[in-house]
Amino acid sequence: MNMPLDFRMGISMANNERAADVEGAQRSGDRRATDRRSTPSKMFDMGHYIFREGESGQEAFILNSGKVQIFRIEIEDGEAVEKSLAILPTGTMFGEMALIDDKPRMASARAYGGPAQVLVVDQQQFRKMLEPVNPFVKKLLSILADHVRDASNSAIASDAATDS
């Protein structure tokens, strides 16, 4: 689930370039250039949800600072129990599956151990990034997203059978 270092560095470099572009645009008074080049970000206090399992996904996120916990709620012995799936470090992208396949969120995400700042990639930005991509690659992304969902659901069913 972590992005490779070179990809994170690419995001970091892109963010630095964007910051320089925004700074230059602000000096020249070009507000439209500033708006176009700035990536929206959101801050979440510790424990606050970024999204919840079952919601429709209109955004993906890149963790800019802090940590995020990905978890699911499972029923064990008739009681709801949180099952932590991952603690994400800075630089990780998450929530992207819902943008790829337009299906509900598979898990919940919340700020963990302190506040978390995320960069937001909305559906429109995501689709624009995919415009130049070969249709074969787009279909492959959809197939891979289905495989990840199937594998995740199988693992959860297997865990539930083991716990019984």
Considering just the CA atoms, what is the radius of gyration of the chain in Å?
A: 18
Q: Give the least confident one: 10-19, 61-70, 151-160.
A: 10-19
Q: Tell me the pLDDT tens digit for each residue of 101-156.
A: 888 999 999 999 999 999 999 989 888 988 898 889 888 888 888 888 777 766 66
Task: Report the amino acid identity of residue 18.
Answer: R
Domain 40-163 has CATH 2.60.120.10: yes
Residue 127 has what pLDDT? 87
- Residue 134 CA: distances (Å) to CA of 17, 129, 131, 155: 27, 12, 8, 32
Residue-range domain boundaries for the chain: 1-38, 40-163
Residue 63 has what pLDDT? 97
